[in-house]
Structures are given as C-alpha cells and as structure tokens.
Amino acid sequence: MYEVLNNSILRSWEEGDATSLTVYANNRNIWRNLRDAFPHPYTLEDAKNFLQMVLSQDPETYFAIEVEGKACGSIGFTLHADVERVSAEIGYWLGEPFWNHGIMSEAVMFMTPYAIQQHDLTRVYAVPFEWNTPSFRVLEHAGYQFEGRMRRSAVKDGQITDQLIYAYVV
C-alpha cells in the first residue's frame, strides 16, 4: 500500500526502515502508551525483528508512517478469528517530534475504512490507557465513539490502570 495524506505517507514497511524505526521507537513516552510487546529500550535488533515479522505478513496489516522521507511511526490492526472475525483492534504510534500535527488523526481516518473494506469488518476498536488523552482525541477526531471503561484491566510500567474502549462501527 502507498497512500499520500496531507502531512505524511502511509506505506508498506521496507527492510531499509530499521535505522529510522530504531531512532523514533526508542522513546519511553511512546513505550508507555503501547503494549509490552513493544520493547524499551528499542534496539536495532528489535527493529529488524519487527520488520521481519511484518514483511512476512499475509495479509499485510501493519504500515509505516513516513514523514519527511523517514519511517517515524506505525499503524496497523489485529484481525480476530472465530466469532470476533468481524472485528479488529487498531494500534498506532508516532515519533515524538511529529506529535500534535494531525498526522495520526489522518492516518487513523484513512486506515479505519481501509481495514473495514479490505477485511469485511463491522467494527474497529482501540483500548488506550486511561492517561492517554491525546489518543482519545485522535480516535474521536477519526469518528470513533467512546463505549466504556474497563476498570483496572491492565498493568503498564508497574501501574494498574483502566483502559477505555473506543470503536468505529459500521
């Protein structure tokens, strides 16, 4: 996939993205808002392992966010099986120098209908941690609705926290 947005480009990941990925992903402020599968510190080896995984995906569900010619973020979705096969969870992150420029809102607004159309989904959802207000704003700007709070449902950085459920439903 290759899609030009106003402030960025969404494209498939490439092997040559490892160095740029390491530079932007190695950030505690990013790690704190993601699942523990996203390591911190984030090393070149982590980037290579991630790229090996996403480059072998079929179907492709993780994409690079490119700004100023560099892969500086990621957006993707996890498809579900069995009775939840009409749902997917969206996830994303962006290098801190590019925060507050509307880039992630644009990416989510493009990726949501893409996922729905490509995979015959009826629902795409996200579960940000209760402290991640910027993520709430991104989701709301992209048309997601707040559905509820899962109290004390996760642990991150040694802290038990709530997760909020936001969904885009067709």
Q: Which residues pair with 75 in a beta bridge?
A: 63, 92
What class is the 2-124 domain?
alpha beta
Q: What is the pTM of this model?
A: 0.95
Per-domain boundaries in the chain: 2-124
Structural tokens at position 127: 């579960």
Question: Two tokens at 144?
Answer: 């997601």
Tens-digit pLDDT profile for residues 57-96: 999 999 999 999 999 999 999 999 999 999 999 999 999 9
Phi then psi for residue 57, to 5 deg, are -65, 140
Residues 6+ apart with CB under 8 A from 168: 112, 116, 123, 124, 125, 142, 143, 144, 145
Question: Model confidence over 108-145: pLDDT tens digits?
Answer: 999 999 999 999 999 999 999 999 999 999 999 999 99
> Residue 57 is encoded by which pair of tokens?
């995906």
Task: Please tell me the distance from the alpha carbon of residue 70 to that of residue 17, in angstroms, as a whole number.
Answer: 8
